[in-house]
A = this chain, B = another copy of it.
Amino acid sequence: MQTIKEYVQSNKDRFLEELFALLRFPSISADPKYKEDVVKTAEFVAERLKEAGADNVEVCPTAGNPIVYGEKIVDASLPTVLVYGHYDVQPADPLELWETPPFEPTVRDGKIYARGAADDKGQFYMHVKAFEYMMRNNALACNVKFMIEGEEEVGSANLETFVKANKKRLQNDVIVISDTSMISMEQPSLETGLRGLSYVEVEVTGPNRDLHSGVYGGAVANPATILAKMIASLHDENNHIAIPGFYDDVIELSAEEREALNKAPFDIETYKEDLGIGEVWGENGYTTIERTGIRPTLEVNGIWGGYIGEGAKTVLPSKAYAKISMRLVPNQNSHRITELFKTHFESIAPKYVQVQVKPHHGGEPVVTPTDSIAYKAAEKALEEAFNKKPIPTRGGGSIPIVALFEKELGVKTVLLGFGLDSDNLHSPNEKYGIENYLKGIETIPSFFKYYAELSK
């Protein structure tokens, strides 16, 4: 029997080729015009699962994008691991900022550049290849179920229905998700918390048509100016979010917890240099690690209104828009926060304009236990692969499915992520290290092994 190290060595090129093929699909879930590519991607994933040895592989239709399911039940007495991932990706624009086309994977200094390389195609596909190894070497220590969805980047709108309708089929002992980052290749880590999300789109309407700014300017409220004033008021002078009740449900960490959190290796200078900023920004009284890990945030993800083309147009726009999202921390509820935002935003709208707040999608925050068998198994697997004990961290991102699973299936999740914060997730030139990819494939079988052992 080959060891996983040997197997990865001898199949490395094929593992990369297969990932590249997967990355070539522009499976952008936010934009309806990619619907067909999204479906093709799901079928591709299903094929790879079959080849790897999964049974009952199915491309399950939903009201939105299909969910790919597959499983291998070796022995009912063994624990069952459910692997969750997503084959959809973020939009690639602004396209002009990509050094190489987002859907033509290219390798530069050991990194795979492509939209979805790390988020999440490169990461979920590690599980498919690790599974292939365990199957071919008769080393599958647990039953395994795969659920790879296609709407994670747009809020997993149809996953809840699917999960509720398939509780029996999805039944498992632990969920493993590789869709997060670790500190570095020198310092492995395990995320033990994820933030929730409330995403809204706002529309401010002034006059019933675009107006000549010379004829009407100065006499009619400009929705772009009003929107700017409204957005400006959402953070106070200490950069606290100025929405009444916003922090009511936030659980404050103890001094000890905060101290532990800030022990994670972090160099502010390297951070600023990497981002090309002169100064970090954020809520007064908290460190950068805390601002992204344990504090809720409010960000403008997009703003537009009036003439944004070439040259100059002297128009007073009829409408202005913004996409605004809030990251939530444990005990905050996305529905409540969305309501609070809506009520507040409407309440601060001056009489000159009409305001509409359209909720996009949300997700609930979670904290994953560090004392569970699954966490310990992940810890051992990572220590074995990296020769260093991983440290627990708090992730800033959101994976709504984690909270959904806890609620619907009563199962906890392990966030076994191999990405890096510098992978340009959701940005141009998204990348994923070849080394991260192969290390991941190498780590997963040991997780299965240790999880089975510790479960005995």
Is there a chain B Cβ closer than 8 Å to A228's Cβ?
yes
Is there a chain B Cβ closer than 8 Å to A31's Cβ?
yes
Which residues on B sit within 8 Å (CB–CB) of A397? Answer: 212, 214-215
Taking CB as reference atom, which chain B residue is nearest A218?
B297
Whether A224 touches B311, Cβ cut-off 8 Å, given contacts A207-B276, A210-B94, A215-B421, is no
Which residues on B sit within 8 Å (CB–CB) of A221? Answer: 277, 279, 281
How far is A323 from B93 in the complex, measured between Cα atoms in Å?
Answer: 22
Q: How far is the CB of A218 from chain B (nearest CB, A)?
A: 3
Is there a chain B Cβ closer than 8 Å to A336's Cβ?
no
Taking CB as reference atom, which chain B residue is nearest A221?
B281
Taking CB as reference atom, which chain B residue is nearest A320?
B303
Which residues on B sit within 8 Å (CB–CB) of A305? Answer: 300, 302-304
The interface size of chain A toward B, counting residues with CB under 8 Å, comes to 99
Q: How far is the CB of A317 from chain B (nearest CB, A)?
A: 7
Flag A307-335 by CB within 8 Å of B: 1 or 0 each.
Answer: 11111111111001111010100000000
How far is A396 from B217 in the complex, measured between Cα atoms in Å?
Answer: 8
Q: How far is the CB of A339 from chain B (nearest CB, A)?
A: 18
How far is A55 from B228 in the complex, measured between Cα atoms in Å?
Answer: 54
How far is A31 from B312 in the complex, measured between Cα atoms in Å?
Answer: 9
How far is A325 from B224 in the complex, measured between Cα atoms in Å?
Answer: 13
Stretch at the interface among A11-19, A244-252, A366-374, A425-433: A425-433
Cross-chain contact A325 with B312 (CB below 8 angstroms): yes
Stretch at the interface among A67-75, A161-169, A287-295: A287-295
Q: Which residue of the partner chain, among B218, B307, B396, contacts A295 with CB atoms under 8 Å?
A: B218
Stretch at the interface among A133-141, A229-237, A404-412: A229-237
Which residues on B sit within 8 Å (CB–CB) of A158? Answer: none
Is there a chain B Cβ closer than 8 Å to A283's Cβ?
yes
How far is A212 from B89 in the complex, measured between Cα atoms in Å?
Answer: 13
Is there a chain B Cβ closer than 8 Å to A355's Cβ?
no
How far is A233 from B231 in the complex, measured between Cα atoms in Å?
Answer: 12
How far is A291 from B214 in the complex, measured between Cα atoms in Å?
Answer: 10
Cross-chain contact A297 with B217 (CB below 8 angstroms): yes
Q: Which residue of the partner chain, among B232, B277, B302, contacts A313 with CB atoms under 8 Å?
A: B302
Which residues on B sit within 8 Å (CB–CB) of A6? Answer: none
Taking CB as reference atom, which chain B residue is nearest A425?
B212
Q: Which 5 A-B pairs have the closest CB atoms?
A: A218-B297, A208-B276, A30-B311, A214-B397, A221-B281
Can you list 22 contacts pairing A with B, beta carbon distance less than 8 Å?
A: A30-B309, A30-B312, A30-B313, A31-B309, A31-B310, A91-B309, A206-B277, A213-B325, A215-B396, A215-B397, A218-B291, A219-B292, A220-B281, A221-B281, A228-B229, A232-B233, A277-B352, A279-B351, A301-B307, A301-B313, A302-B315, A308-B323
Other CB < 8 Å A-B pairs besides A97-B210, A212-B396, 12 of them? A94-B210, A154-B312, A197-B214, A210-B426, A217-B327, A218-B283, A219-B288, A224-B322, A278-B351, A281-B352, A300-B305, A312-B360
